[in-house]
Structure 1
Amino acid sequence: MESQYTESIAKVILFDPIDSGANRLCILSSHATPSMASWLLTTYEEQGITDISIELIIEAVMDSGIDNISHEGFKELHGRRYSNKCNISCSYLFQPPTSKSNLFIWLQDDKPVQAFDCTYDFTQISFLRSNGGSITAQSAAYAYKLYENAVTRSIFCNHSEVEEYIIIRSSTTSPSSTDAKFHDNCVHLPLITRTGEPGKRSGLNWGQRNKRNKNEAYIPLPSRIAKSGFFPLNKQHFLVVTDDHHTLQLRVEQQNDKAITTPASNAQLGEYFRNRLGLANGAYVHTSDLKAYGRTDVVFYKIDDEQYYMDFSSGGNG
C-alpha cells in the first residue's frame, strides 16, 4: 500500500490500529525526533485517545551518535505520562545489526496484532511533510521478535551510562557562531504590543483571566512571519534550545497562526519567562519588568526544520 497524503500515512500507521483495540506501539526507526514524539502524544491527548504506550528505539545513533539538543528532548519526554495516561520511552540502539527499515508494531496488551514496514522515519518531516514513500504490511509476530531482539541491544536515553554507549554530539547553536547563514536565518518577535505594553489578557499575560492558570502565555507571532515559512504550521512541533540551556517543545497555533505556545501545557512558557524575569509564578508581566530585565523581544534562530535556538538573554534589545 502506498499513500501520497501525509495525513493518511499518520492515520494508517499511528491511529487506525487503536480503533481495533491496539494500545501499545513499538517503534524501531532509523531516525527519530523528539518533536515527532511530542506531536504524537499531544495529538492523542487532543483527540481524546487514552492509555497508549509508545516504546521507541532509534537505530542511526549507533553509528552517527545524536546531537545534544535532540538527546535532551528525548530525555524530557522519556517516561512522561500525559493527563490521558499516554506515555513514551526512548532508547538508543548501541550494538548491530540494524533492521535497515522502519518498523511500527502494534500490540493489544502483550499480543502483537498489526505491523508496518515502511520508508517513513519517525520524524515530522517524514510523516507529515513528505510527498511519497511506501508502507508494507508485516507479520506482527515476526516484526515484534525483531523489536524484542533490538531491545536487548539498546539503552534508555536517560540511563546514567548512556554516554559510554552512544556519542552525544555538541550542537553549535549559539548566535555567537561565525556562520553567516545562522545569523541571517532569524526573526525578532516583540513581547509588547504597539501601545508599548504586553497584552492585558494576551501574550505573556494570556492567563490573566478568571478561572485560568495565570502562568498561561504565548509569544505573539506577526502574520507576515507566520506566512513566511520560518516556523512549521498545522500544529507541528519544534524543539527549542534556549540561551540559558533549557529545551522547550513549541508549536504555532490559534486563529491565523498568531501564537507560539508550549503544547504540553500553556503555562509552561509563562513559567519560563516569569522565571527569567525574576517574577513570581502567575504574576502580571508589565513593560517595566521587561525593561528592568533588559529586553522586550525574543529572537529565534532556525537550526533546521525541527530545531531552533531562542535568545532571551538580558540586554538583547534594551
Structure 2
Amino acid sequence: MITNDLYSKILLEPAERGGDELFIVSGYASATFARRHLKDLSERKEDTKINLIIGMPKNTVDHNAYLQLHTEFGNRFRGYYLKSTPPVHSKVFTWFNSGKPQEAYSGSANYSQYGFFEDKQRNQMVSDNSIEIKNFFDDLLSSSIFMPHAEIDNSAVFYRVQKVHGSVPAGGVEWIELGKTVRISFLDKKGMLPPVSGLNWGQRKEKRINKGTGEVKYVLREKNQAYLSLKGDVREEGFLPKMAYNFTLLTDDNASFDCVVAQEGRKAIHSTNDNSELGRYFRKRLGLEPGAFVTVEDLERYGRTDYTLSKIDDENFLLDFSVKPN
C-alpha cells in the first residue's frame, strides 16, 4: 500500500518508466491540478497524454478552465463528464506504454491537489490491474460527454456576488461574508495606484547582472505583467490556498486563470502560465491598450477601484470586477 508521496509515485514516476498515456476515472477532479500535472509531465516526457472521466460532475464551475486545457494541450488532454446515473465515486489510474498496459493503481485519492498532497488529506493507493481499469474506463466512456461538447451554464455560480456601487476606501479591505467573499482595493492608503507593482508590475525595469563580466543592465519587462495585491487579513491562510497550491480564478465575464498565492507574506495572486495574463485582462476591461500604464483615473472612469474575491471551494475562486448600472 502506498501512503506517501502519491503525486510522484502514481502520477509522475510511471512516465519516467516509459508510460506515455494515462487513463483516469475520478469521482472529483480539478482543472488546476490537471494543468499542474500536465506541465510537470512535460518536463519528463513531453508527449504524455491524459484521459480523464469525472464520475461525479455536479460541480462544473471550472468548466472553462478545462476547455482551456483542451486548447492549450491539444490531444495531450481529453476530459469527459459522466452523464449517466448512478454517479461513479471511483479513483482509478492506469498507465499505458505504446498502447500496451504498463501499471495501474486504485485507492482513495481523487484527481486533485487535496487528493495527492498529504498536508490536506491522507490517502492510500494500491497496485491494480491495468486491463481491468482500462475496460472500466472504456465502459464509462460510452456514457460520458467530451468536455468541449458539453453545454455548461455557470451563471448560477455568481448569484451571491452582488454588483456594487462605488469602491471600498483606498487601501482597504471589506469582508462581505467573512472567509467567503471580500472586496479589496487596488489603491494604496494614500489613494494612489502603485506605479511599478500590482496592475503596473510590468512597468518596472529589471536588474540583470552578467555573471561573466559583472556588468549591470536594467531592461524593461513585458508591460502587461500584473498581479492582484492582497491586503490585511486576506493574506492569512484559510481563505486562499497555501502558496504551493494552484487554484482556478473564474471571472464575472466568463474568463478563467490558473493562479497561485505568491510573494513573501502572501501579498499577491499571480497567474501561473504567464505573468502578463491578468494585466492584459484588466487593461481590456478598462478599455486600455495592451501594455498601457494604468492610472487611478482609469479605474474611476470604469466605475470602481477595487475587486471582489469569492471562495467557491479550495481550488476555485470568483473574481468580480463588474459595476452595477446606475
Shorter-chain TM-score bucket reads 0.7 to 0.9
Paired AA for residue 192 in structure 2: E
Matched, 1:29 2:19: no
Q: What residue in structure 2 maps to residue 288 of structure 1? A: 297
Amino acid at match of 2:141: V
Deviations 1:36-77 (A, max 9, x none): 2233234445x565322211111123xxx444x232332232
> Match for residue 138 of structure 1?
128
| Alignment check: 8 A CA contact 1:91 1:155 kept | yes
CA distance in 2, matches of 1:56, 1:121: 11
Match in the other structure for 1:77:
69
Give yes or no for the alignment of 1:300 onto 2:309: yes
For the residues of structure 1 that align with 2:185 and 2:155, how far apart are their CA atoms? Answer: 32
What's the offset of the Cα at 1:141?
2.6
Q: Distance in 2 between matches of 1:189 and 1:255?
A: 19
In structure 1, the gaps of 5 or more residues are: none
Is the counterpart of residue 52 in structure 1 residue 48 in structure 2?
A: yes
The secondary structure found in structure 2 opposite 1:192 is coil
In structure 1, the partner of 2:9 is 12
Cα separation, partners in 2 of 1:141 and 1:211, compared to 1, 3 Å: farther
Distance 2:279 2:153 in 1: 34
Identity of matched residues, %: 31
Amino acid of the structure 1 residue aligned with 2:187: I
Gaps of 5+ in 2: 164-174, 206-218
Query: What's the CA shift for 1:273?
Result: 0.5
CA RMSD of aligned residues (A): 2.9
User: Larger Cα Rg: Structure 1 or Structure 2?
Assistant: 2
2: distance between equivalents of 1:302 and 1:25? 31
> Offset at 1:227?
2.1
Partner of 2:202: 207
Q: CA deviation at 1:309?
A: 2.1
Question: C-alpha separation between the residues in 2 aligned to 1:211 and 1:111?
Answer: 50
Give me the whole-angstrom Cα distance separating, in 2, the residues matched to 1:298 and 1:142.
49
When the two structures are superposed, what TM-score results if normalisation uses the length of structure 2? 0.80
Contact 1:79/1:88, CA 8 A, preserved across alignment: no
Does the CA contact (< 8 Å) of 1:24 and 1:53 recur in 2? Answer: yes
Give the whole-Å Cα distance in 1 for the aligned partners of 2:285 and 2:308: 15
Please say if residues 274 and 280 of structure 1, whose CA atoms lie closer than 8 Å, have aligned partners that are also in contact.
yes
Contact 2:101/2:131 (8 A) holds in 1: yes
- Indicate the SS of the match to 1:309: strand
Structure 2 distance, partners of 1:86, 1:234, is 30
Matches within 5 A, 1:124-203: 124-128=113-117, 129-159=119-149, 162-163=150-151, 170-176=156-162, 183-184=177-178, 185-203=180-198
| Displacement over 4 Å in runs of 4+ | 42-45, 96-100, 166-169
Q: CA deviation at 1:236?
A: 1.6
Give the partner amino acid of 1:70: D
User: For residues 39 and 52 of structure 1, what CA distance do their matches in structure 2 show?
Assistant: 13
